[in-house]
Chains A and B, each alone.
Chain A
Amino acid sequence: MSWLTLLISIPLIGAAVVGWIARKSQARAWFLSLGFVGLQFCVTLAAVMMFDTSQSARFQFAGAAKWLPSIGAEFNVGVDGLGLMSLLLAAIVVPFAIALIDPKTRRPGTMAAWMLLLQSTLIGNFVSLNFVLWFLFWELALIPAFFLVRGWGGPLRAKAALRFFMYTMAGSALMLAGMAAVYAAAGTFHLPSLALLSSGVTLSSKITTLVGGNDVWAAWVFFAILIGVAVKVPLYPLHGWLPATYSEADPPVTMILTGVMSKMGVVGMLRVVGPLFPDQIRIHSQMLMWIAAIGILASAWTALAQRDLRRMLAFSSINHLGWCLLAIFAAWSVTKPGVDGTAALNGAMLQIFNHGITAATLFACVALLERRNTNSTRIDSFGGLRAVMPVFSGLWGIALFASIGLPGLNGFISELLMVQGSFALNPWATAVAAGSLLLTAVFLLGFWQKVFHGPLNPQCGAMPDLSSTERLVLAPTLVLMILLGVCPQLLLKWLNPVSESLLSILR
């Protein structure tokens, strides 16, 4: 059994075991789930140790098995630097989320079981090298996610879950159609082989040949797959499912949704959309970059007007991941590989990890705040909390400033690289999007002022500061934020070769 199969199986088995035990004892099931994610984390660490960094553009720990040869579907797995980083992200965020499940919540063990299942499918998606397998995990991930949103959270959660499910399913339907066209044209679902096409007879030209010379069809296939992936990230006008889902779901669930699941979309962009259709991105790059840039600005601006903490953070997530898309579109807008494209891709990949841990930490803080006896997340229902909970405000403050992009914390480097790469390739769109850097500071500090500063709201006077367990739960990601802010090379040594090789096969 290869490393990657093991990584997919541990949480899968865990989900079954924990789910079974949860029928008898929820608390014990929850505790056991921590064991499984802990084991998963250790195996991931072992994989990180075994990973050959000097070859990080190659797919390592590769495994292959016949599956459905008649349609070209094989069980093909492997990780390059990007995949490894995504595995690490999943191994960090999921335990973090499980640790933050409120023991007083309804059926915490069942929730943890669903989370384990979600982790398994997400990892499956991150390591898949076959389009069908990738798509299978992509769809499977929706099931635990749907039940997690549906089962726990605010009063409107059922509606939100349905919308979330239907919206992403609709996107997937488009993608499925696109996939069929890809197979018809290229005769393979193996993603690395499909990516190699761009250095010879491109996938687009194969599709054009297939339909008899009309090159519009290649664009339709491209957009079908692009939209399917973009819904999940999401790209701004396709984000309709997100605010309700993120704000209705229980914060630990949102941690995984924004921390890892949305990254499935960004990784998909880098793994599928970009390598398969570099020429299509190039043709439409101006439009795509402007859509992304306007989305970046609009989402930050919408966040500014939100009165609810979770909704504000939801729009902030759209904003931060919009940057990834802008950078990705920018990187593939050029024919010649150059340092600008590499910077943009490095930034986008680094942002996957950075946003993952930062957004998860922010929602973790929301979870801890909600635990403190008030069920409201309206921003103006608090006030002056820093006076009664200095440690909490200090730790939350670190995550807050990481999200603003303060140098010395993780968010800055990825933002800088994305701005640098995108600016070189489309200065005006980037300048428009850069306005969001200011708006982000405005709404985050505005929230901070209303919740933590000013005179103490008498209703919040009795709120206890963080317990030492809670501090310990928050500590790892905060340490990572500082570590990656000072030493981004820790991840970039994996990512930089991947970016280079992604762009080097361009013609």
Chain B
Amino acid sequence: MNSFVQYLWLIPLLPLIAAGINAVLPGDVRRVAMGLTIGTMAASFLISVIALLKVAGGGRLYHNFDWFSLGSGHVRLGWLLDPLSAAMLVMVTLVGLCIFIYSVAYMAHDARQKQFFTFLSLFAAAMLGLIISNSLLLLFMCWEVVGLASYLLIGFWFSKPSAAAACKKAFITTRIGDVGFLLGIVWIAKENGSLLFFDGGGGFLEQAALEHLNGLAVGGLSAATAISLLLFCGAMGKSGQVPLHVWLPDAMEGPTPVSALIHAATMVAAGVFLIGRVHPLMTAESLSVVAGIGACTAVIAALIGIAQNDIKRILAYSTVSQLGYMMLALGVGGLGAGIFHLITHGFFKALLFLGAGSVIHGCHDQQDIRAMGGLHGPMRKTFATYAVGMMALSGFPLLFSGFWSKEAILHAAHSTVGSHLPFYAGLFGAVLTAFYMTRLMSLVFFGTYRGDAKHPPHESPRLMTAPLQVLAFFAIVLGFLGTPAWPWFTSWIEGRDSHFQFGHLFHLETLGLMIVSTLAVAAGVWLGWRLYFQRLRLTAEEKDPLQVVVPRLYHHLENRLWFDEFYEKTIISGTRRVGDWLTIIEQRLWVGGIWAAAQISNGFSWLSRCYDEWLINDGFDKSCDSLRGSGKEIADAHRQGLPFTLRTVGAAILVLLAVTWLWFGKGGAR
């Protein structure tokens, strides 16, 4: 057992301490708060790099400990360090650090800067804790705290009604998936006892448990399939897969660094990470579901993305679409490819969001791309780095990381034994991605500035552009870790050896796929170029070229394919209606049943009176009187409103008794 892994908890603990201290600091000590947040994140980054070096050659280290006692044993948690967690650790801390530094400038004018950095630290702590968990339980706990941090950050400007609604929507939509996730967890606990991933043979990702779970049949499925699908519910919520993607675009109500950190680079990756983590548990059936959902998400979100006009929303849909790609990759068995795309995407999407923040900042809080334009002149650094991000996302060949990771995904989707539909979906998605990014670039950076001419756009301060440059650097170089010639990263994640073989680039399938995907990108860029660059927009008001060409399709896409409206009309109003019905049952139906019970008790008192007056006569005067007295008392009490209560009691007990009676009937038959 390596002693280093015992101290792995330092990585999430440092930001957690920062969050704790910041929370109790008075509101005006901004510098201390920022320093703590950034300092602890930098320290976590350094430890993460050491952790990465520890497992650079592969391998798996873990350390488990008792948390609380349960029965004769204990519930145990643990830390885990393997290539997957090491890669995620470095990505999250590095991207996080860039975003934190950027936030110093971006949030400089906000009165609640201290709270902002507190929440950022809390978020980082939860996310890092999630990554190093060696227990599904601990992972779930951190997962929920990540949800809390995102709730706080999306709703950071809570006085805006849209932000207040968005943060609630995010928490609740992800919680829909989390209920399934929780049931999956307790199911594993039931079958395996331990929720640890690895525990010297006792973990549920190890041979014995996997065989047991695969062998159990539950209604035509193996338990492993059912459980992994429940876990996937959680991943769908967190990673914004269709049909639970609706919260992610709304989450852009948060400050832009939050969008970059949470809703692009790291938090939404948690779902993909989860599926990557429990990949051994996934069966062929559940993997095909994952691939199918991923493919649908990749295409649907990209389609919606081409008709949005808010710069952050376009990127949000792009994120949803790229998450679909990652799920697709995991679903077709390309674990390494999916995680590779997760890492490269983390960098270039953070870059794009921070770039968007810089653009919004430079255009005086304008977010509508129709009102921008011509920014390549005044915002040179932003433009250059943004172009790198755009090319990485679109998958421009050879030089950009997005190309290689997307290539790996397409390769996995093409070589799978299952359906090839995900492959074609991926290819179509690539065309769409290139198209909407070209549209975005043309509208934002070229042509003439369509905003207020009195306030020309300006470049952002150095503190904002420097993180962009760092991220742009990684958006390029990371790709070379996973080329077909030297697929070090993918092999490392999957626990295989890799060698540098230049010839692999020229295998027929590899080369063919590279050419096909390059053609897809070229097609998308060409279309975007024809529609948006050749006839540059002159005013903010004129119609979108696509609206002219295909007005009906554009209308549906612009309205995000009516997902929100559909949910509002069905699930949300349905839930509300059931709540109202139950309240009516509470107030009326009970009382109605109670009224019947009251009549019965009235009947009894009437009977007792009859008994008194007619059946028992003079000889029993005294007992008669007392009985009559009691009858009268009941009747009097009734008039005073007491029986209302009795009615309630009576009705409730009657219902219970009726149910009991029915049950007895059945029991007797048995």
A residues in contact (CB < 8 Å) with B = 159, 162-163, 165-167, 170-171, 174, 216, 219, 223, 227, 237-238, 240-241, 243, 283-284, 287, 291, 298, 301-302, 304-306, 338-340, 342-343, 346, 384, 386-387, 401, 406-408, 412-413, 416-417, 419-420, 423-424, 427, 430-431, 434-435, 437-439, 441-442, 445-446, 448-449, 452-456, 487-489, 492-493, 496, 499-500
Cα of A270 to Cα of B551 in the assembled complex, Å: 67
Nearest chain-B residue to A420 (Cβ)? B186
Instruction: Say yes or no: A216 contacts B73, CB within 8 Å.
Output: no
B582 partner residues in chain A, CB cutoff 8 A: 298, 301-302, 305
- B642-670 at interface with A (beta carbon < 8 Å): 642, 644-646, 648-649, 652-653, 655-657, 659-660, 663-664, 667
Q: Shortest CB–CB separation between residue A23 and chain B, in angstroms?
A: 30
Name the one of B68, B73, B185, B576 contacting A339, with C-beta atoms under 8 angstroms: B73
| Contact sample, A vs B, 28 pairs, CB 8 Å cutoff | A159-B641, A166-B649, A174-B653, A219-B664, A240-B590, A240-B649, A240-B652, A284-B663, A339-B73, A406-B148, A408-B144, A419-B183, A419-B186, A420-B186, A424-B190, A430-B186, A438-B172, A438-B176, A446-B168, A449-B164, A453-B155, A454-B161, A454-B164, A456-B159, A487-B68, A488-B68, A489-B67, A492-B70
Cα of A379 to Cα of B70 in the assembled complex, Å: 41
Interface-centre pick from A163, A165, A435 (highest chain B CB count, 10 A):
A163
Nearest chain-A residue to B645 (Cβ)? A166
Cα of A442 to Cα of B142 in the assembled complex, Å: 21
Name the one of B141, B168, B590 contacting A445, with C-beta atoms under 8 angstroms: B168
Q: Shortest CB–CB separation between residue B625 and chain A, in angstroms?
A: 25
Name the one of A338, A424, A449 contacting B186, with C-beta atoms under 8 angstroms: A424
Nearest chain-A residue to B659 (Cβ)? A287
Instruction: Say yes or no: B182 contacts A437, CB within 8 Å.
Output: yes
Instruction: Say yes or no: B183 contacts A434, CB within 8 Å.
Output: yes
Name the one of B71, B159, B168, B655 contacting A496, with C-beta atoms under 8 angstroms: B71
Instruction: Say yes or no: B69 contacts A419, CB within 8 Å.
Output: no
Nearest chain-B residue to A226 (Cβ)? B656
Cα of A176 to Cα of B436 in the assembled complex, Å: 75
A304 partner residues in chain B, CB cutoff 8 A: 575-576, 579
Which 6 pairs from chain A and chain B are nearest by CB?
A305-B579, A407-B141, A453-B164, A166-B645, A424-B190, A304-B579
Nearest chain-B residue to A497 (Cβ)? B69
Cα of A417 to Cα of B186 in the assembled complex, Å: 9
A170 partner residues in chain B, CB cutoff 8 A: 645-646, 649, 653
Instruction: Say yes or no: B179 contacts A435, CB within 8 Å.
Output: yes
Q: Shortest CB–CB separation between residue A342 and chain B, in angstroms?
A: 4
Instruction: Say yes or no: A166 contacts B646, CB within 8 Å.
Output: yes
Kindly supply a per-residue 1/0 record for chain B positions 36-53, scoring 1 wherever the CB is within 8 Å of any chain A CB and 0 otherwise. 000000000000000000
With contacts A162-B642, A237-B655, A306-B583 taken as known, whether A423 is within 8 angstroms of B71 at the C-beta atoms is no
Interface-centre pick from A219, A340, A453, A488 (highest chain B CB count, 10 A):
A453
Kindly supply a per-residue 1/0 record for chain B positions 277-308, scoring 1 wherever the CB is within 8 Å of any chain A CB and 0 otherwise. 00000000000000000000000000000000
Name the one of B161, B164, B645 contacting A162, with C-beta atoms under 8 angstroms: B645
Q: Does B1 contact A (CB under 8 A)?
A: no
Instruction: Say yes or no: B70 contacts A423, CB within 8 Å.
Output: no
A416 partner residues in chain B, CB cutoff 8 A: 137, 182, 186
With contacts A304-B579, A488-B68 taken as known, whether A453 is within 8 angstroms of B158 at the C-beta atoms is yes
A434 partner residues in chain B, CB cutoff 8 A: 179, 182-183
Name the one of A284, A438, A453, A492 contacting B69, with C-beta atoms under 8 angstroms: A492
Instruction: Say yes or no: A346 contacts B70, CB within 8 Å.
Output: yes
Q: Does B495 contact A (CB under 8 A)?
A: no
Instruction: Say yes or no: A342 contacts B70, CB within 8 Å.
Output: yes
With contacts A305-B582, A306-B583, A407-B140 taken as known, whether A386 is within 8 angstroms of B186 at the C-beta atoms is no
B652 partner residues in chain A, CB cutoff 8 A: 237-238, 240
Tally A-B pairs: CB < 8 A. 180
Instruction: Say yes or no: B642 contacts A240, CB within 8 Å.
Output: no
Cα of A431 to Cα of B185 in the assembled complex, Å: 12
Instruction: Say yes or no: A406 contacts B648, CB within 8 Å.
Output: no
Instruction: Say yes or no: A454 contacts B69, CB within 8 Å.
Output: no
Instruction: Say yes or no: B182 contacts A453, CB within 8 Å.
Output: no
Cα of A455 to Cα of B67 in the assembled complex, Å: 43
With contacts A243-B586, A343-B70, A346-B70 taken as known, whether A454 is within 8 angstroms of B159 at the C-beta atoms is yes
Q: Shortest CB–CB separation between residue A326 and chain B, in angstroms?
A: 13
Q: Does B171 contact A (CB under 8 A)?
A: yes
Interface-centre pick from A302, A417, A430, A499 (highest chain B CB count, 10 A):
A302
Q: Shortest CB–CB separation between residue A135 and chain B, in angstroms?
A: 18
- B585-620 at interface with A (beta carbon < 8 Å): 586, 590
With contacts A240-B652, A302-B579 taken as known, whether A163 is within 8 angstroms of B644 at the C-beta atoms is yes
With contacts A302-B583, A435-B179 taken as known, whether A407 is within 8 angstroms of B145 at the C-beta atoms is yes
Q: Does B378 contact A (CB under 8 A)?
A: no
B residues in contact (CB < 8 Å) with A = 67-73, 137, 140-142, 144-145, 148, 155, 158-159, 161, 163-165, 167-168, 171-172, 175-176, 179, 182-183, 185-187, 189-190, 193, 575-576, 578-580, 582-583, 586, 590, 641-642, 644-646, 648-649, 652-653, 655-657, 659-660, 663-664, 667
Instruction: Say yes or no: B175 contacts A438, CB within 8 Å.
Output: yes
Given contacts A166-B645, A439-B575, 12 further A-B contacts (CB under 8 A): A170-B649, A171-B649, A174-B653, A223-B657, A287-B663, A301-B582, A339-B72, A343-B189, A407-B141, A424-B186, A452-B158, A454-B159
Cα of A496 to Cα of B71 in the assembled complex, Å: 6
B175 partner residues in chain A, CB cutoff 8 A: 437-438, 441
Cα of A223 to Cα of B576 in the assembled complex, Å: 35
Instruction: Say yes or no: B172 contacts A441, CB within 8 Å.
Output: yes
B69 partner residues in chain A, CB cutoff 8 A: 489, 492-493, 496
Instruction: Say yes or no: B68 contacts A442, CB within 8 Å.
Output: no
Instruction: Say yes or no: A445 contacts B171, CB within 8 Å.
Output: yes
Instruction: Say yes or no: B71 contacts A167, CB within 8 Å.
Output: no
Q: Shortest CB–CB separation between residue A328 and chain B, in angstroms?
A: 17
A219 partner residues in chain B, CB cutoff 8 A: 660, 664
Q: Shortest CB–CB separation between residue A487 and chain B, in angstroms?
A: 8
Cα of A386 to Cα of B164 in the assembled complex, Å: 11
B660 partner residues in chain A, CB cutoff 8 A: 219, 223, 284, 287
B193 partner residues in chain A, CB cutoff 8 A: 339
Instruction: Say yes or no: A167 contacts B583, CB within 8 Å.
Output: no
Q: Shortest CB–CB separation between residue B521 and chain A, in angstroms?
A: 41
Name the one of A223, A241, A492 contacting B648, with C-beta atoms under 8 angstroms: A241
Cα of A416 to Cα of B137 in the assembled complex, Å: 10
Instruction: Say yes or no: A339 contacts B164, CB within 8 Å.
Output: no
A441 partner residues in chain B, CB cutoff 8 A: 171-172, 175
Instruction: Say yes or no: B68 contacts A492, CB within 8 Å.
Output: yes
Instruction: Say yes or no: A420 contacts B145, CB within 8 Å.
Output: no
Nearest chain-A residue to B161 (Cβ)? A454
Cα of A437 to Cα of B172 in the assembled complex, Å: 10
Q: Shortest CB–CB separation between residue B169 and chain A, in angstroms?
A: 9
B579 partner residues in chain A, CB cutoff 8 A: 301-302, 304-305
Instruction: Say yes or no: B165 contacts A423, CB within 8 Å.
Output: no
Nearest chain-B residue to A291 (Cβ)? B659
Q: Shortest CB–CB separation between residue A75 and chain B, in angstroms?
A: 31
Nearest chain-A residue to B637 (Cβ)? A166
Cα of A416 to Cα of B188 in the assembled complex, Å: 13
Q: Shortest CB–CB separation between residue A495 and chain B, in angstroms?
A: 9
Cα of A446 to Cα of B576 in the assembled complex, Å: 12
Interface-centre pick from A387, A417, A449, A493 (highest chain B CB count, 10 A):
A449
With contacts A170-B649, A496-B69 taken as known, whether A455 is within 8 angstroms of B161 at the C-beta atoms is yes
Cα of A413 to Cα of B144 in the assembled complex, Å: 13
B167 partner residues in chain A, CB cutoff 8 A: 453
Instruction: Say yes or no: A167 contacts B648, CB within 8 Å.
Output: yes
Cα of A241 to Cα of B144 in the assembled complex, Å: 35
Name the one of A216, A437, A446 contacting B664, with C-beta atoms under 8 angstroms: A216
Name the one of B68, B190, B657 contacting A420, with C-beta atoms under 8 angstroms: B190
Q: Shortest CB–CB separation between residue A418 and chain B, in angstroms?
A: 10
A227 partner residues in chain B, CB cutoff 8 A: 653, 656
Cα of A460 to Cα of B161 in the assembled complex, Å: 17
A167 partner residues in chain B, CB cutoff 8 A: 645, 648-649
